[in-house]
Chains A and B, each alone.
Chain A
Amino acid sequence: MSRRPTARRRAARTGQYLALLGYLVFLAFPLLWLVSTAFKPPRELASLHPGWIPDHPTLGNFRQAFEEQPLLRSAGNSLIASLAAAVITVVIATPMAYVMARHHRSRLSRAATGWIVVSQAFPFVLVIIPLFLVLKEVRLIDSLAGLIMVYVVWSLPFALWMLAGYARAVPRELEEAAAVDGAGRLRALVSVTVPLLTPGIVATALFAFITAWNEFFFALVLLKSPRKQTMPIILTHFIGTEGVADLGPLAAASLLATLPSLVLFAIIQRRITSGTLAGAVKH
């Protein structure tokens, strides 16, 4: 009698792992194919029966990509724009999200929520010309500063919405307990609320970073000087008319372009997990 539920549980667990494995394979497939393509010589790229492991692995695609395009410089530009956008977004969004969470019934908070929803409905092409004209007026066309401002404005609504959700989950009682222990409002915020918000802040920063890192259209339109171009722009230089592409160097450059996001995520994912647990215990 007692074995049956255990067997059923095991079967269910096996099914869960299989589903997870399938999902992981589905997610990893494009990245693994990218890795495979980056190391293949041109003739293998046009093989009728392509394999995962290159028959004659080569670094030629990486060499060509570096020779033809300023990958390091563009990666540096992307890094500056993305890090700055992530930091500024978080600095602005954190106190705003806190206020929205603590006063979610106020008129201001509801207006902010409405703004968040409405802002998500605007496609890039609708705002780009007015945005271009405004930035031109303040001499921020062809500047990373202008691009960073755009990225912050573009990421802010969703970042706010994300962080407000985290802030709502922090019990108000903890701040009250801190107040009982003699902490002022600011001290309670800094010492109690913000640490509990860490996973949310990290997740929001990651979202803002990746959004900016991958962004193509604003950068294409707003940056004119070659030395200021970001990584997504440089990647399109391997693509010609009618979608014809120099596939090997494109894959090599794209692979390099995915590394910062992966590294960043690997570093801070521990913060997300530990922060979540910390919150759970205190609650």
Chain B
Amino acid sequence: MRRRTLLAAPAAGALLSACAPERRRGAGGRITLRFQSLAWQRESVAANKQLVAEWNAAHPDIRVEYVQGSWDGVHDQLLTSFEGGEAPDIIHDATDDLADFAYGGYLADLTDLLPQRLKAEIPPRTWQTATFGGGVHGVPFLQEPRVLIANRTLLQRARVRIPGPERPWSWAEFEDAAHKLTRDGTYGVAWPLKEPVSATLNLSLSTGGKVFHRGADDKVTVRFDAADQRVPRVIHDQLGGDRTAARTTLGMGGSDTLPGFFGGKYAMVPLGFSYRQQIVQQAPEGFAWTVLPSPAGPGGDQRQGVSPQTLSIAADSPYQREAARFIDFFLRPPHMVRLARGDWMLPTGRTALRDPALRTRRHGWATGTALAGQLRPAPAQTVRGYPEWKDKVATPALQEYYSGAIGMGELRDRLVDDGNLVLARYQR
């Protein structure tokens, strides 16, 4: 390797010295932490940069360098950086992307690094989303429930009961409402099902769905029982049975449904909570819309799965304690509120959730914060092999089921039989 270095170095020429990476510890012992943030919306980026600037002003000996990353390709980028020992010190990601990194030993266990204040601030069920193999490998700080964004005018015209977090619709009431809302060229609901797996699995928590079952030997198997089948069956029936859902949105992402929603083609669209930002920005003048909670399961069960955004520390970072101090600063309750407002999401911290700015009825904030207590770890995120199961088995199977190409029996067979073959490879 050394010989190759000697041979290759001259070829790099004069550009090499100009482009060589900076040293991490400057003169006078000042250290530099690299913080890769995936914030991308204008307000969110501004909040992130502002907090970094405040930290740098108050901590001249520990400088944080803000690096804007991208959700597109972040997994491969991080994996390569980890393998090459060049990962950022502080890593912004989401819990559903952490499992491989955590089990691979690339992320530091934060259990002893984080202060008690931060540990107590976030509920235990939320910590579970970033706990892998007994270690905490990320601080979950932003999350978003799936809600129904509805056309208020059409709701009032159809005279359906407007549900709230205290009294949500049951799945049957939701089907009934969609039925009443479907008329004059308007569909009751538009399911954007380009990525059907997480929506299906996360909403199925309300009906007792689990799909992934961990045995006493710690091995996970896939089952698709009656409780798991309830939500997919509702969606399937709305699309192909009573036609209260538009079939054209089957291949759409959430944003793609908005023109139809604004145009009165769909009365309701199930979307992530942060889509409100696009609605505020793009809705026509005078368009009346509201945020409704997702339908509840038996006994008013409003649980749903989420994969919060996280901050992690690279296991290779020589400055883990300093990075943990920055995370503690970054996630103080008022800061969490600023980050949440910037991203139009919910903070995970208890104190931040009580902030009046997030309790207002304007833009549906109050509905979202009322649902925060019902958010649970997404069923799949600690399962090794889930990404492959999702891409190769579940996504095509669910898409075929929703389009009517296969029935519930074949869907079940494929999710379970093919799925267990995939998971078995990861659990040998």
Contact = CB atoms under 8 A, between A and B. Distances in A.
Interface of A: 42-43, 45-50, 64, 68, 125, 128-129, 132-134, 136-146, 148-149, 216-217, 220-221, 224-226, 228, 233, 236-247
Interface in B247-263: 253-255, 258-260, 262-263
B3 to A, nearest CB: 11
Contact of B253 (A140, A233, A244): A244
A145 B8 contact: no
A43 B260 contact: no
B76 A221 contact: yes
A244 B252 CA distance: 11
Interface string B70-86: 11110011011101111
Contact of A139 (B16, B34, B254): B16
Contact of A143 (B21, B70, B282, B283): B21
B104 to A, nearest CB: 13
A245 B42 CA distance: 12
B76 A217 contact: yes
B120 interface: no
Contacts of B412: none
Contacts of B11: 149
Contact of A145 (B15, B81, B260, B281): B15
Interface string B175-209: 00000000000000000001100000000000000
Contacts of A46: 258-259, 262, 278, 282-283
Contact of B76 (A125, A226, A228, A236): A125
Contacts of A221: 76-77, 80-81
Among A46, A141, A216, A247, find the residue whose CB has the most chain B CB atoms closer than 10 A. Answer: A46
Contacts of A137: 1, 4-5, 8
Nearest to A249: B42
Given A46-B283, A64-B42, A220-B73, 7 more contacts: A125-B76, A129-B84, A143-B16, A146-B12, A220-B70, A220-B77, A244-B255
Contacts of A228: 19
A216 B284 CA distance: 35
Contacts of A145: 12-13, 15-16, 18-19
Contacts of A45: 282
B71 A241 contact: yes
Nearest to B71: A241
A49 B133 CA distance: 51
B71 A239 contact: yes
B41 interface: yes
Contacts of B41: 240, 246
B137 interface: no
B282 A43 contact: yes
B330 to A, nearest CB: 18
A140 B10 CA distance: 12
B259 to A, nearest CB: 5
B278 A138 contact: no
A16 B22 CA distance: 59
B32 to A, nearest CB: 11
B19 A132 contact: no
A242 B4 CA distance: 42
Given A48-B262, A48-B263, A244-B253, A143 B20 contact: yes
Among A43, A139, A224, max chain B CB count under 10 A is at A224
Given A141-B21, A242-B254, A133 B283 contact: no
Given A46-B259, A138-B8, A139-B21, A244 B84 contact: no
Given A45-B282, A242-B254, A134 B68 contact: no
Nearest to A41: B282
Interface in B283-315: 283-285
Contacts of A125: 76
A233 B68 CA distance: 10
A87 to B, nearest CB: 13
Of A132, A225, A237, A241, most buried by chain B (CB within 10 Å of CB) is A241
Contact of A244 (B9, B94, B254): B254
23 contacts: A43-B285, A46-B258, A46-B262, A47-B259, A48-B265, A129-B79, A133-B84, A143-B15, A143-B18, A145-B13, A145-B16, A146-B12, A217-B73, A217-B76, A221-B77, A221-B81, A236-B70, A236-B72, A237-B40, A242-B195, A242-B254, A242-B272, A243-B255
A163 B1 CA distance: 33
Nearest to A233: B70
Contacts of B275: 244
Contacts of B16: 139-140, 143, 145
A250 B78 CA distance: 24
Contacts of A128: 76, 80
B12 A129 contact: no
B363 to A, nearest CB: 16
A138 B84 contact: no
Nearest to A217: B73
B253 A242 contact: yes
B421 interface: no
B372 interface: no
A48 B248 CA distance: 14
Interface in B124-147: none
A233 B281 CA distance: 25
A128 B84 CA distance: 10
A142 B21 contact: yes
B381 to A, nearest CB: 15
Contact of A68 (B45, B77, B255, B281): B45
A43 B18 CA distance: 46
A144 B14 CA distance: 12
